[in-house]
Structure 1
Amino acid sequence: MNEDAFEVPARNEYRYLVQDEGEEEIQYVRRHYVSPFLVLSRRCMFLIACGVLGLLALAGYLAYVAQTPPPGFAEVSTDCGWLRGRWGGRAYSFKGIPYAVPPVGERRWRPPEDLKAAGKCWHGVYDATYVRSVCAQVQPLSSAGDVTGKEDCLHLSVFSPSLKPAKPLPVMVWIHGGYLHMLSGQEKGCSPTEELAVQTQTVFVSLNYRLNAFGFMALEVLREGSSTNTSGNYGFMDQIQALQWVQRNIHVFGGDPGKVTIFGQSSGGTSVWTLMMSPLAKGLFHRAIDMSGSYVYNATLETAEKDNLVFLRKTGCKDAACLRNLSITQVLQAIPWDEYPSWAADNLTDIPVKDQFYGPVAVVDGHVLSVPPFEAWKKPGLYNDVPFVVGTTEQETDFSPTMKNISTWTLGDYNWFVKEKLDPYGQDVVSEALRLYNSLAPCPTKDRCPERLYTTLVSDMRVSCPNNDLAKRAADALNSPVYRYVVTHTPSKAADSSLWMPYHSRFSFHMLDSLAFFGGLEMVLGTVSPEDKAFQELLTNRFIHFAKEGKMPPEWPEFPTQTALLNNTLQVAQNPFAERCKLWEENDFYKYAWIN
């Protein structure tokens, strides 16, 4: 090799030796010169870059793993983001899903706000594997009751047998009871479950809505800043907001948004037929089941706002800002539970004291309800014309009779109490009541006949007969079919009050139908008989048929042609309690019907 060929590298250059394969001559290839420190620095940068890329790859993998549901879980995408729920092997559950902005702080006593519209959707995947808090409430209903729950409670849960069924499944939306004051959409034994979804091949939704003063306080000072210039009925607005959520999202859970049934028991039943009358709920549901709802419902907003001034005085507040700064406990303790308007309404399971009434909780506010419900049925186009079921149990008040020793009564005790309590209404009423509700009436448990007679009498005047009138008004107004049922089944044993019930109920008590539908009979009875199971299957099958088809099967004709009597078998009769109801209607007892 010629030494002259070698050139001293200029600054910032270096020579790199390359030997071609098969050649002995070494060629010099000119390259930029880099100092040893820079070479080392570049190598470090290369290693750092590799490390960063590796970390990014790991992070991506971890993110992928985090976004991939582990076994036993499932994810769906709603209009407000992704939800992660549970897959139990046979059904899916998504619990504690927020459907509105939390109504706290300045949002207390205002209509619910849509999460997406308010820019409050969550980021990432929302954990919908467990229920959240119940709405703020007090139990028992008094200023000294135990306070539970939160204001941040507007959540719902969904239970589905399939997220991608061959054909969209019917949807049933459960609205819980509790006087509009208490309980939740997640009560054990009386709310939807995965098992029920599988058994019926139906998608179920249950929801929480604002209760008591938080959900229904009507006061003129609360109109300040209101977009509706009204007050009260916030709980009903929550229910409507939840139904709007169902319409937008239920398809991702396998449900059919065009086949939604709303159903509720007690104040949940009251909510159902309120929604039937509300123009705000137009088109949000397609069938309705009212189980033991109230009948009296015509108080004006102005009347309610005046009646509720006692609440305002007890808080010590004079304006809305002060009210919104009160604690949950302060609000609940200021509610007039025992003084008029007497929101506790603790005498509803007994013969009414003459001319003693309770003030309204739900009101005709001009927003949710533009006119009283029965007037709405006189104005075609104002109400929701959907297939409608009205149900009651024969001994509604047996779930919590005022006299707790009623199970020990003799026939003489029964006669004395009826005479004593009905005497202010006149001797003719007393005599006719004792004739119609007598010891010869059918009584499956002979030693408990006085209890059965008394609770039947009170239930007729307070619930069953008024609901006959409600069903009759519905049948006259609706083009859709209307159905009426009365549960006559007597459980195989008394309900265990230590578990859930407030009393050892023995007959067709308030909640018997909802407990049967949700599989809660065994919880309150301990064990169930074949007759109990037959009743449970009968009621469940008919409800599901109604949700799927929008009508009852042929053996259950429309009302008022027939009323269905639900025992362990289905029987029908034409106006079976006509004579009994005539007594209470003609003597103006319907004004004492259950309220709320």
Structure 2
Amino acid sequence: MLNAQQLSSTVTVEQGKLSGKHVEHLHQFFGVPYAEPPVGQLRWQPPQKAQNWLGIKQVHTFENQCMQKYLYDDMRFRSKGVSEDCLYLNIWTPDLAPTEKLPVLVYFYGGGFRAGDGSEPRYDGAALAKKGIVVVTVNYRLGIFGLLAHPSLSAQSGYGGSGNYTFLDQQAALEWVNKNISQFGGDPTRVTIGGESAGSISVSAHMVAPDSKGLFSAAIGQSGSILGPPLPAVSLQKAHEMGVSTVNQLHNKLSLKVDRGNIEQLREVSAETLLDALEELGISRFSTTVDGRFIKDLPISLYRKGQFAKVPLLAGVNSQESHYTSIVDKPLVTKEDYQQAIRNLYPEYYQEVLAMFNISEQEDIKDALQTLASDRFISFGAWAWIDAVTHHPSVSGKQPSTYFYRYDHIRPARKVSEGGTGEHHDRGAVHSAEIEYVFGNLDNNPLYLWQPEDYQVSKVVQGYFERFIKTHDPNGEGQAFWPTFSSEKWMILSKEPEYQSFEAHIKRYQFFMDYYYPSN
């Protein structure tokens, strides 16, 4: 078994020897290559196995983040730079590995598949590693580099499809972890995959990806899934149409020659030039594709057929995933404003949607719009996912354990020195606000005026997630009991968590299920 001295000197993985850092009773290995750099002719191809190296590779600092221009306001990076050469992962492992191998968390960052990086301080794995978990964060290709599908690429692929390089990168990282994580004290049979937003969508995608099954034993999804907005999967034909349109626009924008294939020419254009051109064209979103390799059918069909990994799942949403102003942008919303907005959004189902909400006071209007905005953005997808997993029996006839939450704690105000006003007007827990609490990284985020109750909430929430990673059950002594989702309830995560009925929400989510996936 590994000991602290062995880990602090070298670790031998499939490709060669690594030397990490020993910091505060932890071993850290940053910038570990899990695949070849996807540059040149490897742009828009599945990830290739990392080549072996000679000698000892020093992995003390974070490597490049993947190509991106869009930066969300609360993102902070510790990466070396921005480059297509970005397929690296980072590992935090405790000082001493016990006789029994440690559980592993492999985490995929959020950012709408167009931003993010495994070096972000809010995803730092040190706090969880100190609790006896080997933590891995993974970089993966984004935007056009990760999701472009095109007939020419499909003709070259050998499997008749294209796109989804984002997910194939993640899959390659999972394969690397399964082969090598025991060298870092981890148990390859106890790997939990987790993620927030785009990372959560990724987790739900891997659950229906044939080649991902068997690479993980449990799953965590924070806000969203591939079964709902904002980024549902599309057919290969639709992805081809979108890809052709994008490539043609780039071809014209960049005034490329017409005597050679568009894809081959674009492979020769610098990544920076491509991103600049896309920004000027107003193109920033790309979809998951039914590519015939990563996924074989639309995810909703796969979940309905029971063709998903039968593993324990912990998933949930935040209470303010989106603000009411995304529907009616007024400080004072009248009942007439509210009704007209619903009529505009759902002209055929106007009365049905209005009946979902009980409006008796002025504030009820904002509450209803906030709930609706959150559902339309990302909350419905999270429910559709956990409901599909919960209510479809596995091959053995036993359902996997599922745990559903709503995170309610309102993050404190932003510091004036960090562009804030010292006050906030949030009506709930905003999208992504739970990440620092789950990872125990409040002190890694200097933007907010953290209060003692924030640290208490972090302790409570992290406790549930820690136990789920270790035992695939969030329950333990000293905290409110969290039953499985089969009872149609969810855990309200806050300073004093409590289990509440989900009944008031069922009708609304069933409406969205019929709305997005009408029966034939």
TM-score tier, shorter chain, comes to 0.7 to 0.9
SS of the residue corresponding to residue 245 of structure 1 reads: helix
CA distance in 2, matches of 1:333, 1:124: 39
Q: For residues 363-404 of structure 1, what are the alpha-carbon distances to aligned partners after superposition, in whole Å with 9 as ceiling and x for unaligned?
A: 111110001112112445x42111111210011114x96489
Cα distance in 2 between the residues matched to 1:74 and 1:500: 43
Could you say what the CA RMSD is over the residues aligned between the two structures, in angstroms?
3.2
Give the alignment partner of residue 545 of structure 1, picking from 455, 461, 467.
Answer: 467
C-alpha spacing 1:524/1:71, structure 2 compared with 1 (3 Å): same
Equivalent pair of 1:96/1:156 in contact (CA under 8 Å) = yes
Aligned match of 1:145: none
Match of 1:179 in 2: 112
Could you list the per-position Cα deviations for residues 228-252 of structure 1 after superposition, in whole angstroms to 9, with x for gaps in the alignment?
3211000100000000110111111
Letter in 2 for 1:484: F
> 2:71, 2:115 within 8 Å by CA — same for their partners in 1?
no
Indicate the residue corresponding to 1:94 in structure 2: 29
On the 8 A contact 2:203/2:221 being kept in 1, the answer is yes
Q: Does 1:327 align with 2:270?
A: yes
- Give the structure with higher Rg (CA): 1
SS at match of 1:238: helix
Which of 382, 387, 393 is matched with 1:472 structurally?
387
Equivalent pair of 1:93/1:157 in contact (CA under 8 Å): yes
Inter-partner Cα distance in structure 2 for 1:481 and 1:501: 41
2:17 aligned residue: 82
Asked if the contact 2:342/2:354 (under 8 Å) is kept, the reply is no
Unmatched segments (≥5 aa) in structure 1? 1-68, 142-147, 345-359, 442-448, 592-596
1:431/1:535 Cα in 2 relative to 1: closer, same or farther (>3 Å)?
Answer: same
Q: Cα deviations across residues 479-520 of structure 1 (Å, max 9, x unaligned)?
A: 2111111112223x2345975999956221111221211234
- Code of the aligned partner of 1:509: V
Q: Decide whether aligned partners of structure 1 residues 97 and 163 sit closer, same or farther in structure 2, where only a CA change above 3 A counts.
A: farther
- Alignment correspondent of 2:298: 372
Q: Are the equivalent residues in 2 in contact too, given 1:99–1:156 (CA < 8 A)?
A: yes
Provide the residue aligned with 1:391 in structure 2.
Answer: 316
Could you tell me which amino acid in structure 2 is paired with residue 536 of structure 1?
A: S
Counterpart of 2:338? 418
The amino acid across from 2:435 in the alignment is S
1:239-388 alignment, distance < 5 Å: 239-294=170-225, 295-296=227-228, 297-316=232-251, 318-335=261-278, 343-344=284-285, 361-380=287-306, 382-388=307-313
Q: Deviations over 1:520-563 (max 9, x none)?
A: 44526633333322221111111111111122327111113121
Displacement of 1:473 after TM fit? 1.1
2:201, 2:221 within 8 Å by CA — same for their partners in 1? Answer: yes
Partner of residue 125, structure 2: 193
1:216 and 2:138 correspond:
no
Change in CA separation of 1:278 and 1:501 when aligned onto 2, cut-off 3 Å: farther
Tell me, what secondary structure is at the counterpart of 1:181?
coil
Structure-2 change in CA distance of 1:163 and 1:283 (3 Å): farther
Measure, in 1, the Cα distance between the counterparts of 2:141 and 2:469: 26
Q: CA deviation at 1:196?
A: 3.0
Deviates more, 1:252-261 or 1:576-585: 576-585
Classify 1:431/1:237 alpha carbon distance in 2 versus 1 (closer, same or farther; 3 Å).
closer
Q: Counterparts in 2 of 1:573-592, with a 5 A limit?
A: 573-578=500-505, 581=508, 584-585=511-512, 588=515
Q: Write the distance in 1 (CA, Å) between the matches of 2:146 and 2:70.
A: 16
Partners of 1:572 and 1:92 in 2: CA distance: 38
Residue identity in the other structure for 1:514: I
- The SS at the match of 1:377 is helix
Paired positions, count: 479
Q: 2 CA distance for matches of 1:587 and 1:337?
A: 37
Q: How does 1:55-134 map to 2 (within 5 A)?
A: 73-115=8-50, 120-134=51-65
Q: 1:521 to 1:497 in 2, by over 3 A?
A: farther
Matched, 1:155 2:88: yes
> Helix, strand or coil for the counterpart of 1:167?
coil
2:450 is matched with 528
The answer to whether the 8 A contact 2:194-2:221 is kept is: yes
Could you tell me which residue of structure 1 aligns to residue 492 of structure 2? Answer: 565
Cα pair distance change 1:71/1:237, threshold 3 Å: closer
Partner of 1:494: 413
Give, in whole Å, the separation in 1 of the partners of 2:296 and 2:454.
43
Encode CA deviations 1:320-357: one digit per residue, 9 max, x unaligned: 32121111123223448876xx545xxxxxxxxxxxxx
Structure 2 equivalent of residue 458 of structure 1: 373
Q: Deviations over 1:136-163 (max 9, x none)?
A: 111259xxxxxx7110000000001135
Give the TM-score normalised by the residue count of structure 1: 0.74
Counterpart in the other structure of 2:76: none
Q: Which residue of 2 aligns with 1:511?
A: 432
Counterpart of 2:440 in structure 1: which amino acid?
A: G
TM (norm. structure 2) is 0.84
What CA distance in whole angstroms lies between the structure 2 residues aligned with 1:417 and 1:185? Answer: 42
CA drift at 1:437 = 8.4
Residue aligning to 2:162: 231
Q: Distance in 2 between matches of 1:234 and 1:501?
A: 37
Would you say 1:432 and 2:355 are equivalent positions?
A: yes
- Unaligned runs of at least 5 residues, structure 2: 73-80
In structure 2, what is the equivalent of residue 484 of structure 1?
404
How big is each residue's C-alpha offset from its partner over 1:292-333, in whole Å with a ceiling of 9 and x where there is no partner? 123333410111111222211122263332121111123223
Identical aligned residues as a percent: 28
Q: Deviations over 1:549-582 (max 9, x none)?
A: 1223271111131211111122112315326725
Measure the CA separation in 1 of the matches of 2:420 and 2:35: 32
Select 1:169's aligned residue among 98, 102, 112. Answer: 102
In structure 2, C-alpha distance between the alignment counterparts of 1:587 and 1:416, rounded to whole Å? 27
